[in-house]
Amino acid sequence: MLAAVDWHVVWQRIFHPDHVFFRALYTTVYIAVVAQVMGVLLGLVAALMRTSKVWPLRFLSGLYVLIFRGTPLLVQIFFIYYGVNLLLGFTLIPNSLNLGLFSLDGAVVAGILALGVNEGAYMREIIRAGIDSIDRGQMEAAKSLGMRYGLAMRRIILPQAARVIIPPLGNEFNNMLKTTSLVFTIGVYEMFADAEIHYSNSFQPVEYFLAVAFWYLVLTGVWGLIQAAIERRLAAAERGDELTFRERLTTAWAPAGAFVRR
């Protein structure tokens, strides 16, 4: 079976990617980052709305989660790309947005919008859990010092909640990097679209999809390293450690610890 695979094509795609591929890779990362940032912001707003005293805000926040977690992402992508135009009778996503410095492909905008709004619904839950994990006494202490809700959230609650939010946020971004592949369906030229086009020109699906899988692994692998570094720093901060450079080196490379007296 493996003999049927043209390994030369696979190596070629992995070790000698062309610049068209790199543009596609850039598009993938770009969409993932912007959509994730959007998701965090929307999630934060929705999480704060959820605890609002104004019931319509609470209701909207609940409805948002209900809809975007309750329907397929693919449907949301198509709905935002095509549906809204038809439904509302105007072009929400023009084919090309000219923003002076650079122009944005309408499909990219629609893709980011769909992924970001969808992500926000999941982020709301994560951020909510983070905020709920902080002892009520923290808000009360802040209030007793004359802080208003917004200030207390910003300076006291959210910085502490961040420690709880960041690990699952890292997993969300790992997911996002891979989920971007769905936007090929509305014609965005990202990594998966690149593989798809090569495949339909060559009818060598295994070769091209194997190669693109490798590249997704590279992206998620690099992100995994970054995530691990962030979480290590968080854990150190949690212990309240103020390590000297030397101590950090010796803990990073444990065997050396034997030679250094603490």
Partner 1 sequence: MTDVVMEAVDVHKRFGRLEVLQGVSLAVTKGETLCIIGASGSGKTTFIRCINHLEKIDGGRITVNGHLIGYREEDGKLREDSEKSIARQRTQIGMVFQRFNLFPHKTAMENVTEAPVHVLGVPTDQAREQALALLRRVGLADKCDTYPGKLSGGQQQRVAIARALAMRPALMLFDEPTSALDPEVTGEVLSVMEELAREGMTMIVVTHEMGFAKVAADRVVMMDGGVIIEEGTPEHFFEAPEHERTKQFLSKIL
Give the interface with partner 1 as residue ranges (CB under 8 A).
Answer: 135, 137-138, 140-149, 151, 155-156, 159-160, 237, 239-240
Task: Give the integer Cα–Cα distance in Å for 220 and 177.
Answer: 7
Smallest gap from residue 247 Cβ to partner 1 (A): 16
Helix axis angle, 158-179 relative to 19-50, nearest 10°? Answer: 140
Q: How far apart are CA 19 and CA 135, in angstroms?
A: 52
Q: How far is the CB of 261 from partner 1 (least distance, A)?
A: 22
* CB contact at 8 A, 103 and 96: yes
Using the minimum distance from each CB to partner 1, give the nearer residue, 123 or 152: 152
Question: Closest separation between CB of residue 125 and partner 1, Å?
Answer: 23
Smallest gap from residue 58 Cβ to partner 1 (A): 18
SS3 97: strand
Beta carbon nearer to partner 1, 156 or 211:
156
- 46-to-51, 52, 187 alpha-carbon distances in Å: 9, 10, 30
Nearest to 172 by CA among 24, 28, 35: 35
In the bound complex, what is the minimum distance in angstroms from residue 97's beta carbon to partner 1?
A: 40
When the beta carbons of 239 and 261 are compared against partner 1, the nearer one is: 239
Which of 159, 205 has the CB closer to partner 1? 159
Q: In sequence order, what are the residues at sequence separation of 6 or more whose Cβ sits closer than 8 angstroms to the Cβ of residue 64? A: 46, 120, 121, 124
Nearer to partner 1, 144 or 201 (CB): 144
